[in-house]
Structure 1
């Protein structure tokens, strides 16, 4: 390691230590051990701090996100829109340097990491997206896309089951553009990893189909780390795992122990560390001018690389004007003009159809017009109906099963991994609109990834079929009673449960047009009638009046398969002299964004409102005075029989609606929407 390289690595290490010390909170151990590898990788990466969205940049993912002081130090040193002052505000309220990397807050952070294992999943998604983009648009004389995804991960990431899911798929897909560094420091929070983690990781990854390299002296052997990256790039038909043997807290008095994992170094330890590395022990946040100059030279080279790429792209657009315009449109985050005109519409004369089938029809209609649409299923393609007839599978060309230009991903039985990969695809850029199919109940398997979709503003789409007790014989293990309540309670998620064809089209319109909100579309297995009064336009408001009365005695509000039952219940109530309005509320999130005046026109004052959904009633009190639902697990049997057993029938709804009318008679009724906050 040359003197300037040594000084640069030491600067990275000490900036991270000072940031943690200033906050009196954080993780100094991993940054101290990983700084040489970080420097070696970033010196080889192509990126431009002045253009963080350049489509052909290399991506860096810190899966062990607790080590984010390392990443923030790199961003400062390489000239991103992050300053030393920001480092001094590490982990403070409203700072640009939060406790774990957040892509929405920190320029240069590719994905939000923190929950261990999510980052390696995101990295697989980034690598998939790059391969698909390259296979779609590269030409023999124009290599527009040839970037790599680098990811650092620790033992915690490897212990989490999601890493097995995504790494297995990455090996199968032969993602040669993915290079992972395993920080093998043999320490976790509980102490030595020997207490819980003794598997042969190298053998495991070889079994997945990965190329595996090892660097024995990760603390100091910069040349070996750099060579490992070059060797990894030579293997184009396998992802690479580089086992990097490091010492956690390298150089500190507590090095090699779990005590240096998640706590600031003591003041005397910081001083001796700075002295050891040749820095002034009395100063903090030191950046030698020669380090700044050294790294600025790397940045300048990369900016020249991007300038050459810009010229290449300009020439590409002249030779391939249609493809060039399409790429530019996608980079600009725009959808094709008029794409929504292909969405199917329905009238009451159309036959009843399951909404999962209606979803398939939408995908068939829009697939050709949206080259950015890419999707798959967690080994449930025949049940989710997520694959269009002209789809090509995304597969390694050598397998003969498809190619990298394919837009259908066979995720296998890996819901959690699928969710993290979808987030990575969304993070790549190029306006990818990507979806994943499974049963609604098993979106819960992916809850960690779904939560990060919402937190990170990734507009991914979950095609969640078999949405209720209506799926029948599979029984309570497959019947999602609490799932909608869970995800509706999560901030920044649209949870659509369409009641017919027009509402299904509206759900997809909302999902495709979203730029910052993920969508879950809950779909039935059983057939549903096309509703009179529904349309894409009214459904796009998230909630609307389906049956209107001048002065209703009661309003029934429902979603999905329960809307048509509510319509039938309203007819029964009419024969009893009770005027029942019916409201369809397919998406709480979208409805809540409408004006209060509109929402009160749908759910007004002066009328008792009863909700009906064959799920947990939790959350419905925001929209109704009384709730009819299922606050226990379901039952095993034929769907129609289960509906009858729980009295989820027009008669059962009408009976409870009549009781609601009687209970509120003579009382002042204020809409649940009218609250102080």
Structure 2
């Protein structure tokens, strides 16, 4: 039976468990888990609906720990309520190959919804999760059938709210009126350097009220009755996201280190941990003590919450009988199946005109959208420039939850993190768009998507100095190589309109990791597929677009808008009796996944003379060219002028490719 003594004992067990785990690891953050144990108790035993035996239940409430350093709070409650985490896993906190890493990791630990750690990311991920729920509810819920009505609960810290991405995401959430979000702001006034007064004295409550949030202040987190009342008020507010500011004491229960920076990011020390245990009535000589009545209490809470899924399945069974087509669509999508014959809807483009690959992307995207209700997205205020608007669909808003066009505003960082949250619905295929140069603003969410191996699709346009007059600040140079170095991230820079259509095909079919489709602003020739190899070969990352009649004297390789230059150069070299193989290489990442035999066929070891052409940093091409300097690239910033003039100024002409190719051939003959 639940009593006040048992509740307090249960909360204190989590505090002691967190202190023990951090102490054994000799690293970590004990203070915040000790402070927030009452909040965790209320969420996991009173508020959230979840099933420890099935962490992927579609209508579960989502919990996001944006301040991921406090992960022992989450691990403790996941273990205690019956998820697939053992006490041994808790003891192995932060150890090699443990499932209890130093920050929460999606796919590693059962019950962890998203990888957090870099502050502010989880806050924005939750906004994406809330959008996904609202969209799915609008599409599938029917009268008497609230199939998707889950909420997003998140904990964020002072540090989270200092980050710019949080401001972007909070503003967007308020604009969209996402009333299915309940966030707890842990105001403990401590950071690693000391008191937050050093750098953070703003009135957070007023700030969030200005964003359009429903805000409550709770002066004492240990007042469980007041906490539950505040949560109920937040649940009743369905037209605005909710922020509950809770005042906690970091390191609560530590006689000498509570309310101090020492409790934030370092073990308390063996002597202090003993004092903590004595303070809470635990045996100071026992480590990882879990009283039987506490474990039974939380396991029962987990079992009771699991009943929510049983009720939901009965509801869904009746829903399937009443709305079979909607149920079939949902089940097909969440099973990862793609519509039958969908590839036939990919557009094809005929040679004879120049077309910017961003324009071809827009046509492809609109063709696909009609057949993929889960394909939704938008841009950071650049839809007309990135060609990412879905012409036949409304915009997602507080009034139109079924809208499929998103207006992220000029919030690139939040856009990336929100997309990650949308992907984690296991339903949506979300895309976001901006100029390639602004990918720098969203590197953290791209990296986290790659770590999680989830697949948002990014459309990066205006991909080189070829964009022209906007000049140095808008002309990307080092961005391509920067993106290519991220593990699990696939970069595709298509050579023309047809390769662009195929890039979208590959992105839709891709299973693990984000995909970046990199596109031109300027019009470029459409390659004749009757004369040259078919664009479908893009899926291999690199392919022979046009081969020489005999053994090649040189291999010319390029990506994107530079491919047509090496095709022109091939013809000019042929007129001088020089055999050149032309390789379109839209994706290093995809190429490296091919079998060695295929890679050797594209780049035979006996053809050592090779030249790469790309309007970007030459870094990384040596792996394929084999010769130092065998790259026509860019190692300085751009200039403001018409795109064709800038490209010519930087050496991106067929004539310069021929000149460079002949010099390399001559050089290698002498060698």
Q: TM-score, normalised by structure 1?
A: 0.96
The CA deviation string for residues 595-652 of structure 1, in whole angstroms up to 9 with x for no partner, is: 0110111111122111000100011112113111001111110000001111210001
Equivalent of 2:329 in 326, 339, 351: 326
Aligned partner of residue 428 in structure 1, secondary structure: coil
The CA deviation string for residues 265-319 of structure 1, in whole angstroms up to 9 with x for no partner, is: 1112111111211211111111111112212222222222111111111111111
The CA deviation string for residues 504-539 of structure 1, in whole angstroms up to 9 with x for no partner, is: 122111111122210111100111222232434311
- Aligned counterparts of 2:294 and 2:331: Cα–Cα separation in 1: 37
- Aligned counterparts of 2:153 and 2:590: Cα–Cα separation in 1: 37
Equivalent of 1:636 in 640, 647, 659: 640
Aligned partner of residue 146 in structure 1, secondary structure: coil
1:478 and 2:479 aligned: no
- Aligned counterparts of 1:240 and 1:291: Cα–Cα separation in 2: 31
- Aligned counterparts of 1:516 and 1:545: Cα–Cα separation in 2: 26
Trace 1:449-468 onto structure 2 (pairs within 5 A).
449-468=445-464
Q: Is the 8 A contact 2:499 2:536 kept in 1?
A: no
Aligned partner of residue 220 in structure 2, secondary structure: coil
1:226 and 2:202 aligned: no
Q: Is the 8 A contact 2:432 2:459 kept in 1?
A: yes
Question: In the comparison of the two structures, how many residue pairs are matched?
Answer: 659
The CA deviation string for residues 166-220 of structure 1, in whole angstroms up to 9 with x for no partner, is: 00000000000001111100001110000100111111000000000111111x2
Q: Which residue does 1:674 correspond to in 2?
A: none
Shift of 1:334: 2.1
Shift of 1:666: 5.6
Q: Which residue does 1:217 correspond to in 2?
A: 220
Q: Which residue does 1:429 correspond to in 2?
A: 426
The CA deviation string for residues 410-449 of structure 1, in whole angstroms up to 9 with x for no partner, is: 000000000000000011222x110001001101110111
- Aligned counterparts of 1:3 and 1:341: Cα–Cα separation in 2: 66
Q: Which residue does 2:536 correspond to in 1?
A: 537
Shift of 1:143: 0.5
Aligned partner of residue 184 in structure 2, secondary structure: strand
Q: Which residue does 2:31 correspond to in 1?
A: 29
Equivalent of 2:659 in 655, 668, 676: 655
Aligned partner of residue 623 in structure 1, secondary structure: helix
Q: Is the 8 A contact 2:151 2:181 kept in 1?
A: yes
Equivalent of 1:406 in 403, 406, 413: 403
Q: Is the 8 A contact 1:216 1:244 kept in 2?
A: yes
Q: Is the 8 A contact 1:41 1:226 kept in 2?
A: no
Aligned partner of residue 288 in structure 2, secondary structure: coil
- Aligned counterparts of 1:117 and 1:99: Cα–Cα separation in 2: 17
Q: Is the 8 A contact 2:216 2:243 kept in 1?
A: yes
Aligned partner of residue 369 in structure 1, secondary structure: coil
Q: Which residue does 1:505 correspond to in 2?
A: 501
Shift of 1:452: 0.5
Shift of 1:29: 0.6
Shift of 1:335: 2.0
Q: Which residue does 2:195 correspond to in 1?
A: 192
- Aligned counterparts of 1:368 and 1:68: Cα–Cα separation in 2: 42
Shift of 1:376: 0.8
- Aligned counterparts of 1:248 and 1:24: Cα–Cα separation in 2: 19
Equivalent of 2:209 in 188, 206, 210: 206
Shift of 1:354: 0.6
- Aligned counterparts of 2:547 and 2:41: Cα–Cα separation in 1: 66
Shift of 1:104: 2.1
- Aligned counterparts of 2:582 and 2:591: Cα–Cα separation in 1: 16
1:54 and 2:50 aligned: no
Q: Is the 8 A contact 1:555 1:610 kept in 2?
A: yes
Shift of 1:458: 1.4
Aligned partner of residue 261 in structure 1, secondary structure: helix
Aligned partner of residue 406 in structure 1, secondary structure: coil
Q: Is the 8 A contact 1:55 1:331 kept in 2?
A: no
- Aligned counterparts of 2:74 and 2:59: Cα–Cα separation in 1: 20
Q: Which residue does 1:671 correspond to in 2?
A: none
Shift of 1:347: 4.1
- Aligned counterparts of 1:347 and 1:593: Cα–Cα separation in 2: 30
Q: Which residue does 2:565 correspond to in 1?
A: 565
Aligned partner of residue 397 in structure 2, secondary structure: coil
Aligned partner of residue 474 in structure 2, secondary structure: coil
Q: Which residue does 1:140 correspond to in 2?
A: 143
The CA deviation string for residues 237-268 of structure 1, in whole angstroms up to 9 with x for no partner, is: 10011100001101112001101111001112
The CA deviation string for residues 563-598 of structure 1, in whole angstroms up to 9 with x for no partner, is: 001101111111222111110000111111000110
Aligned partner of residue 122 in structure 1, secondary structure: helix
Trace 1:71-470 onto structure 2 (pairs within 5 A).
71-218=74-221, 220-252=222-254, 253-348=256-351, 351-397=353-399, 403-430=400-427, 432-470=428-466
Q: Which residue does 2:524 correspond to in 1?
A: 528
The CA deviation string for residues 98-157 of structure 1, in whole angstroms up to 9 with x for no partner, is: 111110211110000010000001011101101111111000121000000011011111
- Aligned counterparts of 1:344 and 1:291: Cα–Cα separation in 2: 61
Q: Which residue does 1:614 correspond to in 2?
A: 615
Q: Which residue does 1:673 correspond to in 2?
A: none
Q: Is the 8 A contact 1:216 1:245 kept in 2?
A: yes
Q: Is the 8 A contact 1:59 1:148 kept in 2?
A: yes
The CA deviation string for residues 48-67 of structure 1, in whole angstroms up to 9 with x for no partner, is: 11111111000000000011
The CA deviation string for residues 384-405 of structure 1, in whole angstroms up to 9 with x for no partner, is: 11012112111001xxxxx011
Equivalent of 1:665 in 640, 653, 669: 669
5+ long unaligned stretches in structure 2: none
Shift of 1:653: 0.9
Q: Is the 8 A contact 1:41 1:229 kept in 2?
A: no
Q: Is the 8 A contact 1:26 1:262 kept in 2?
A: yes
- Aligned counterparts of 1:338 and 1:298: Cα–Cα separation in 2: 47
After TM superposition, the structure 1 stretch with the greater mean CA deviation from structure 2, 163-172 or 543-552, is: 543-552
Q: TM-score, normalised by structure 2?
A: 0.97
Aligned partner of residue 265 in structure 2, secondary structure: coil
Q: Is the 8 A contact 1:378 1:418 kept in 2?
A: yes
